[in-house]
Amino acid sequence: MSARHDTWLSQASRRLAGLEQLVCSVLIAAFGVLLIANVFARYVLNSPIFFASELAVYILIWMAFLAISISIHHDQHVRLTMLVGLLPTPAQRACYWLTELVCVAMLAVILWYAIGWLRSPSVGYDIAITLDWPKWHFYLIVPIFCATSIFHLIARLSDRSRTVFTLVSDED
């Protein structure tokens, strides 16, 4: 779809994906600096950075969730298309819509439970051992991922429905 025909929803989705890409870039740079600093501290100074491994794990988790959301924006997430490809075009479209709507529903349920989980007292008192920080900061990626992915899916479905209905009305 060309940029001049984009809806505000698809433009916002594109800007959100750009922000997610920027955060991923910052995180990967931080990950690299953290690991290099830890190797230097461990083997040159004989004093490793004690929190480096734990922080590196959280950085990787955040990057993974953000990368999945970006792939959803670009419609590059994993699909099994072998059987769907054998169906006629209208059935393929129906399968596409069905799977996208199932994804939205699943993400909405996960978002609902993630918010409830984050609000629970057990998460509020959970502390990252070597960092001595509350873990809920790190756990925020789950509802963030769900919300951004739902937004990307709704924006894409909105664009697809506009395209499909435009094609149908042009054929009339």
Domain residue ranges in the chain = 7-171
Residue pointed to by tokens 């734990």: 54
Please, are residues 111 and 51 in contact by the beta-carbon 8 Å criterion?
no
pLDDT (tens, 9 = 90+) of the chain, 172 residues, equals 444 567 888 899 999 999 999 999 999 999 999 999 999 999 999 999 999 999 999 999 999 999 999 999 998 877 767 777 788 888 888 888 888 899 999 999 999 999 999 999 988 888 888 888 889 999 999 999 999 999 999 998 888 776 554 444 444 4
- Determine the Cα–Cα distance for residues 15 and 12; give it in Å rounded to an integer: 5
* Residue 52 Cα distances to 79, 123, 128, 164, angstroms: 36, 22, 12, 50
Residue pointed to by tokens 């939205």: 104
Helical axes 89-118 vs 141-171, angle rounded to 10°: 160
